[in-house]
Amino acid sequence: MTPPHYVLTGGPCAGKTTTIEELKKRGYTVLPEAARTVIDAQLAAGKTIQDVIADPLWLQHAIITHQIELLAQAPKEKTVFIDRGIPDNVAYYRKFGLAFDDMLNNAVEPRLYRKIFLLAMIDFVTDAARYETPEEAQKLHEGIRQAYTELKYEIVEVPVMPVGERADFIVANL
């Protein structure tokens, strides 16, 4: 049986991290966004965001590797909320025009998550690690929905609402 692991996902600037932080404050176990961790480490090492995305295949492999490491550490018997899941990478492979490879295919093969919460997009804000335009963010949002749908995950649409209400909605829909 799939462990009680739940993904919060959506395009860039959907409020995933803010909602995950609210769930963490409520005592839930959470896993950070692997992509953000990988990108932030590269930026801290002196690279620019353009340097980081210049090799999208390396970037996707680094993100998948980190996601797998994080999942391996997650308790199997506890409710865990995850900021983006491995199938999000399907949308990014498509965005960058990358051919699906063994790393991606093997990573998305097992049934890793019990349910997916797709957060509706909020107002777009840029930061050092967010390189997409609002239009690209919306396209990625739809690509992420498509990826989880293709993989036959149950998707719960989370509307735009204050962060506390979003967290309440998610917990009520486990």
Q: Which domain CATH number covers 86?
A: 3.40.50.300
The tokens 């680094």 sit on which residue? 62
Amino acid at 127: D
pLDDT score for 134: 79
More reliable by pLDDT, 126 or 106:
106
- The chain-wide mean pLDDT, for the chain, equals 93
Q: Whole-model pTM?
A: 0.92
C-alpha–C-alpha distance, residues 75 and 80, integer Å: 8
| Domain boundaries, position 155 | 5-172
pLDDT score for 128: 57
Q: How confident is the model at residue 51 (pLDDT cuts 50, 70, 90)?
A: very high
Neighbours of 37 (CB within 10 A): 18
What's the total number of domains in the chain? Answer: 1
Q: How confident is the model at residue 152 (pLDDT cuts 50, 70, 90)?
A: very high
Per the CB < 8 A criterion, the answer to whether 10 and 16 are in contact is yes
pLDDT at 129 over 80: no
pLDDT tens for 55-83 read 999 999 999 999 999 999 999 999 999 99
pLDDT score for 127: 64
pLDDT score for 60: 97
pLDDT score for 123: 78
Q: Strands (DSSP E) along the chain, which ranges?
A: 5-9, 29-31, 80-83, 115-119, 155-158
